[in-house]
Amino acid sequence: QVQLVESGGGLVQPGGSLRLSCAASGRIFSINNMGWYRQAPGKERDLVAGITSGGSTNYADSVKGRFTISRDNAKNTVYLQMSSLKPEDTAVYYCNADVTIRFGVTIGAWGQGTQVTVSS
């Protein structure tokens, strides 16, 4: 019913930057909270950054001042601008969205994940 497609991952050197995008499509009445999570090998999936429909944001302490989340409501798209990347940022990054598909029905949707590798 709802698809989230991520793009923008890849290999970058320490100190570099990447911009991730996640576009939602399908049966969408409205999109509420959106966010980015990441999962490193052998670790749990953790929240990196979140943004409400009104634009309020929150970040994990480990990325504050380096990552910026934003969204374009007209395009149903959320972005994650990552700067000053560190090797410990290496992970699969997943997009998440709370999508209202019809009045009174909201589902949580996930993207397929995009690999970010920070290495020299």
pLDDT tens digits, one per residue of 47-83:
999 999 999 999 999 999 999 999 999 999 999 999 9
Tokens of 116: 């970010």
3-state helix, strand, coil in the chain (%, to 5): 10, 60, 30
Dist CA 39 CA 53 (whole Å)? 24
Residue type, 118: V
Query: What is the rounded CA–CA span in Å between residue 69 and residue 48?
Result: 9
Instruction: Kindly state the helix (H) or strand (E) to which residue 42 belongs, with its residue range.
Output: none
List of E strands, 27-76:
30-39, 46-51, 57-59, 67-72
Res 1 pLDDT > 90: no
**pLDDT for the residue numbered 108:** 95
Whole-number Å distance between alpha carbons of 22 and 78: 5
Q: What is the pLDDT of residue 40?
A: 96
Average pLDDT score over the chain: 97
pLDDT at site 82: 98
Average pLDDT over residues 12-31: 97
Buried b (16+ CB within 10 A) or exposed e, 17-41: ebebbbbbeeebeebebbbbbbeee
Do 67 and 81 meet the contact criterion of CB atoms below 8 Å apart?
yes
Among residues 35, 28, 38, the alpha carbon closest in space to that of 49 is found at 35
Residue 92 has pLDDT above 90, yes or no: yes
